[in-house]
Chains A and B, each alone.
Chain A
């Protein structure tokens, strides 16, 4: 994860937990979606690192512009609102595409097999009822 600045990492963590928020089951960060990114950034997602640094900076800058506080420090409802606006193309296609990419990759970490770094102890699979037998 040292390919990202501390602020970028914090923004990523906050975004992951809005994409897969904690409820009665753990959120994305708790089960290792961050570890998934950390591992894949030096693997199959290496080509995307540049887009992540730019995208996470842009996301954080939007939060600081509007509410003068970092994205990660916004209340979750405000985070959701900002992400929904990004998704709806309010801040331009590039950022919307970055967010779609982030969602895709976060879901891979959460619902993929634990060997990829996320979905620790197959928590996501237990949640939905996918049991591996045999």
Chain B
């Protein structure tokens, strides 16, 4: 079998992979973009309330298939559980063209300047692996701006200019406020807290040849009915394909990174949609499979030269897994907060991301997307409410439009113990060792989370909530849709996997372009940082070519 030859191979057609493919293809490089899942239409993603990325009781709408793709979770006692993709602890992200961006809520936050220097700002708590990024906000700012403009973000840059300095406003104004926005703004005003419209990778006005958001109720967890949600699948990937230089192959499961005798990446081997083995060879290989699968692929690509996995000579691949511990407060108001308008999330404060006395980091607080009725029933009931019967039904009827929650992604304090390895026994349908999770982030995460939860309660009470309830934050591993950290970026190969160009240490043509290089994962949604970093990495590859 002769291998197909390309200039570059990108593994994973999500946020980072899409950007890398576009930048390289637009520069004339011949790119092979491999995606393990299919490209799904709006109808195929569907609107099943019981099987989606937000509520996966019985399955998913964006892959991977429930059978044949297990993972293994390990608890503190070392006991293992075999998990299917829709089960808790699997840390799933969508496995389709567009990756998570096909079905996300599309919050488009930049990390704050201090998010890049956590260790020097706060010190390093004992037992944590908190560290500074080797690059700073100013270095990433031009790439943030490029992501905002090339994919399309709606927002109001002036409203967050103190926390997120910028040279250029967003390309679109924010979506108009809802009742929920106004009620929460009232509370923030009473407290003297600055707020900002939530920046969204959603068209507030017609943009880039596509329509504006129609304010539907099925945004996060689903695909957009009018294609107003900007993800890799309707922006950078079409641009890459339009050059004629990029070939997108779907249902292609990469089985290993191929290396030559000197250990240099020479391409990848993959199984095509018919499970037939294929080989592709290239000058440059870019991994963008998500923090779990990218780490797994490196570990599963062990060679005689690197017997514990590519890039893993310092035992760093898969460590420092982070996502976001979300905490917040549910609140019932005397007046309706839900007016029927999606997407729902609309107002945020960045006041508590940093500078909290005695607390390491913090997190952004924002309101919630439209809550699906079944999610409301299963996750939003006050603790003293009967789980069934007349009182339950009455609450559903009387409270659904009167309840919302304010919550936020807590900046997790990483630990080298929170990690992805590959399981010695369990294999997937392709015969590959599956991802195995163990450990958690550092317990400081919980102190931060509790602090932020208290601020959330303060906010909703100032806004007029008549009743609030919440569950206490609990230390556990979070990966899922915000997964990051498993191929830490750093200058020292002993404590990191990739260098500041996101190039795997010791491999001059192997790069990572997803959330894996994030040293820390900020206290905001990470997708814009993944996009920005991918722009920077791809530009760096071109400059050195």
Contact partner of A128 (CB less than 8 A), chosen from B50, B58, B400, is B400
- Is B428 in contact with chain A by the CB < 8 A criterion? no
Task: Name the contact of A108 in the complex, choosing from B374, B393, B401 (C-beta under 8 A).
Answer: B374
Q: Does B397 contact A (CB under 8 A)?
A: yes
Identify which of B19-27, B214-222, B447-455 touches chain A: B214-222
Query: Which A residues from 86 to 134 make CB contacts under 8 A with B?
Result: 87, 100, 103-104, 106-108, 111-113, 115-116, 124-125, 127-134
Contact of A127 with B389 at beta-carbon distance under 8 Å, contacts A107-B378, A108-B57, A134-B215 already known? no
Known contacts A83-B388, A103-B388, A127 near B374 by CB under 8 Å: no
Measured between alpha carbons, how far is A132 from B225 in the docked complex, in Å? 12
Interface residues of B in 55-103 (CB under 8 A from A): 57-59
Q: Are B401 and A103 in contact (CB under 8 A)?
A: no
Task: Out of A23, A131, A134, name the residue touching B393 (CB < 8 Å).
Answer: A23
Contact B57 A130 (CB under 8 A): no
Q: How far is the CA of A40 from the CA of B50 in the complex (A)?
A: 12
> Is the CB–CB distance between A111 and B374 below 8 Å?
yes
A129 touching B216, Cβ below 8 Å: no
B150 at the interface (CB under 8 A from A): no
Using a CB-CB cutoff of 8 Å, which residues 1-54 of chain A contact chain B?
18-21, 23, 25, 40, 44
Query: A50 → chain B, closest Cβ, in Å?
Result: 18
Q: A130 contacts B388, CB within 8 Å?
A: no
A128 touches B396 (CB 8 A): yes
Map CB proximity to A onto B388-407 as digits: 1 under 8 Å, 0 otherwise: 11101110110011000000
Complex: A117 Cα to B396 Cα, angstroms: 20
Q: How far is the CB of B163 from chain A (nearest CB, A)?
A: 33
Q: A111-B373, A116-B50 are in contact. Are A25 and B397 (CB under 8 A)?
A: yes
Q: How far is the CB of A48 from chain B (nearest CB, A)?
A: 11
Q: Nearest-CB distance from B36 to chain A (Å)?
A: 24
Q: Does A67 contact B (CB under 8 A)?
A: no
In the complex, residue of chain A having the shortest beta-carbon distance to the beta carbon of B399: A128
A40, A104, A116, A125: the one within 8 Å of B373 (CB)? A125
CA of A104 to CA of B387, assembled, Å = 9
Q: Judge whether B500 is part of the interface by a CB distance below 8 angstroms.
A: no
Which of A40, A107, A113: most chain B Cβ within 10 A?
Answer: A113
Contacting A44 at CB < 8 Å: which of B58, B215, B217?
A: B58
User: Which of A18, A80, A108 gathers most chain B CB within 10 Å?
Assistant: A108
Q: How distant is B82 from chain A, measured CB to nearest CB, in Å?
A: 14
Choose from B214, B338, B374, B389 the contact partner of A112 (Cβ within 8 Å): B374
Contact check, B217 vs A133: say whether CB atoms are below 8 A apart.
Answer: yes
Would A130 and B217 be within 8 Å (CB), given that A23-B390, A25-B397 are in contact? Answer: yes
Q: How far apart sit A54 and B195, CA to CA, in the bound complex (Å)?
A: 54
> In the docked arrangement, what's the CA distance between A130 and B387, Å?
20
For A128, the closest partner residue in chain B by CB is: B400
Of the four ranges (under 10, 10 to 19, 20 to 34, 35 or more), the interface on chain A belongs to 20 to 34
Chain A residues whose C-beta falls within 8 Å of the C-beta of B49 in the assembled complex: 111-113, 116
Shortest distance in angstroms between B275's beta carbon and chain A's nearest beta carbon? 26
Q: CA A37 – CA B338 in complex, angstroms?
A: 31
Q: Is B340 engaged at the interface, CB distance under 8 Å to the other chain?
A: yes
Decide if A18 touches B388 in the complex (CB within 8 Å).
yes
Beta-carbon contact of A21 and B389 below 8 Å? yes
Q: Which residues of B contact A104 (CB under 8 A)?
A: 378
In residues 326-343 of chain B, which contact A (Cβ within 8 Å)?
338, 340
- Does A21 contact B390, Cβ atoms closer than 8 Å? yes
A131 touches B374 (CB 8 A): no
Q: Which of A52-98 contact B (CB under 8 A)?
A: 80, 83, 87
Collect the chain A residues with CB atoms within 8 Å of residue B340's CB: 129, 131, 133
Minimum CB–CB distance from B255 to chain A (whole Å) comes to 30
> How far apart sit A21 and B388, CA to CA, in the bound complex (Å)?
9
Chain A CB within 10 Å — which of B218, B225, B389, B392 has the most?
A: B389
**Contact mask for chain B residues 342-380; partner A; CB cutoff 8 A; 1 contact, 0 none:** 000000000000000000000000000000111011100
Binary CB contact string for chain B from 216 to 237 against chain A (1 if under 8 A, 0 otherwise): 1110000001100000000000
Tell whether B138 is near chain A: CB-to-CB under 8 Å.
no
B50: chain A residues within 8 A (beta carbon)? 44, 108, 112-113, 116
Determine how close the nearest CB of chain A comes to the CB of B402; give it in whole angstroms: 9
B33 to chain A, nearest CB (A): 31
Known: A111-B374, A133-B217. 16 other contacts (CB 8 A): A18-B389, A44-B50, A83-B389, A100-B387, A108-B374, A111-B373, A111-B377, A113-B47, A113-B49, A124-B396, A125-B373, A129-B400, A129-B401, A132-B218, A133-B216, A134-B225
| Residues in B lying within 8 Å of A, measured CB to CB | 47-50, 57-59, 214-218, 225-226, 338, 340, 372-374, 376-378, 387-390, 392-394, 396-397, 400-401
Q: Which 7 A-B pairs have the closest CB atoms?
A: A128-B400, A134-B216, A44-B58, A134-B214, A111-B373, A19-B388, A111-B374
18 A-B contacts (beta carbon < 8 Å)? A20-B388, A20-B393, A21-B389, A25-B393, A107-B377, A111-B374, A111-B376, A112-B373, A113-B47, A127-B397, A128-B401, A129-B340, A130-B400, A132-B216, A132-B217, A133-B340, A134-B217, A134-B225
